[in-house]
Amino acid sequence: MKKFVDVSKSVKWVGIIDQDLTKFHGEELDIPHGTSFNSYLIRDEKTVLVDTVIEKFSTQWIEQLKEEIDLNTIDYIVMNHNEPDHSGSLSALMKEIPNTPIYCTDKGVEIIKAYHKIDAEFRVVKTGDVLDLGKKKLTFVEMKMLHWPDSMASYLNEENILFSNDAFGQHYGANGLFNDECDQDILNYESLKYYACILAPFSPLIKRKIDEILGLNLTIDQICTSHGVIWRKNPLQIVEKYMKWCDNYKEDQIVITYDTMWESTKKMAESIADGIRNISPSTHILLINSAKHSESEVLTEIFKSKGVLFGSPTINNRILPSMAALLEGVKGLGFKDKSTAAFGSYGWNAKNLDVINESLRFTSLKVVNEGIKVNWNLNRESRELCYEFGQEFASSLTD
């Protein structure tokens, strides 16, 4: 277990790093670099614990916390967000210090009571409320639906630290605790994936909330997230990225994602890609087999793209399971301002495009046409048709 680390003169990271964890939110999110569950101790005239850690580490976390501090000297507990990965050890902690007040939003109280059956001294806070610690103050900012209804952030003046909870985080169990101590490529990608796969549905709220926080004219020297590294070197870089990502973000990229049984749909994807390259040679084209890559990886690349094509053959009056799941993910994340169409091969039942197009109706993507299908395997004529389909799709993005 990583030793606790000083963040500033009065703040110490007292979290857990789990480099062995590979999946999150059940089996939904692929996290190949592990994650951290960040908790923070603020020492002033009053002592505050900000958030706890996931329940499976509660025993060792509390034992290590006892080595750092007499638990009875913790004056307040601040719960910025009460999803079980942050509140999972709260029950065990409250058995140790049952009379310690818990500061959270009104929705936080509801969630804590529902999940943990805790009857504690709750102190409900809202945006602008201040907790006086002595020489320093902790100011609360509600972050409703970023990404739960109870979410909030806390700002420590004097040291100019924003405890942002899930906002600005990433699943990265790095060896270094700070953003200038880790692999920048991994950090940037995992931050983007975190946004694309968790926060994207709340993009309009994120823009308004960031504008509100910036409007408070707070000096921010560090951003202490609930997952991943702490942003201490140029911390506002991640805020600037969020402002881009929440504004219908897209790069000059097209994803062609497909699943295939006997390679016919794969061959279609390759010919379509050739057609796109003919019209738009500078565009980055990604061919991704949805069955051979994690759903979160594919969704992240779709989030980055200006266009996406979905392909599957027909199987038992439906499409292949990986493609069906991917389309469900796209629907839930609400990606916007991206063009799309369907393609796929079939034998005696051409229902595949109907199924894909029906799914696309429930997304926020722009369907440019009804798609293209090929019977059995490709020949010279059908390859040419797929090539032309790619040309037409690329042209539709420049019109």
Catalytic amino acids?
A: 25, 81, 83, 85, 147, 166, 194, 227
H helices, E strands: number in the chain: 12, 24
Question: Residue 371's closest CA among 396, 399, 334?
Answer: 396
Strand, coil or helix: what is 16?
strand
Q: What is the rounded distance in angstroms from the CA atom of residue 47 to the CA atom of residue 212?
A: 28
Q: What is the rounded distance in angstroms from the CA atom of residue 355 to the CA atom of residue 358?
A: 5
Q: Are 51 and 105 in contact (CB under 8 A)?
A: no
User: Which residue is associated with the tokens 């007292």?
Assistant: 14
Count CA within 13 A, CB hemisphere, residue 94: 22
Q: What is the rounded distance in angstroms from the CA atom of residue 26 to the CA atom of residue 335?
A: 22
Q: Are 163 and 233 in contact (CB under 8 A)?
A: no
Q: Are 11 and 42 in contact (CB under 8 A)?
A: yes
Distances (CA, A) of 326 to 8, 28, 304, 323: 43, 11, 15, 5
Residues 6+ apart with CB under 8 A from 334: 200, 201, 203, 363, 364
Question: Residue 32's closest CA among 281, 292, 210, 296?
Answer: 296
Structure tokens at 126: 């809202």
Strand, coil or helix: what is 339?
strand
Q: Are 160 and 154 in contact (CB under 8 A)?
A: no
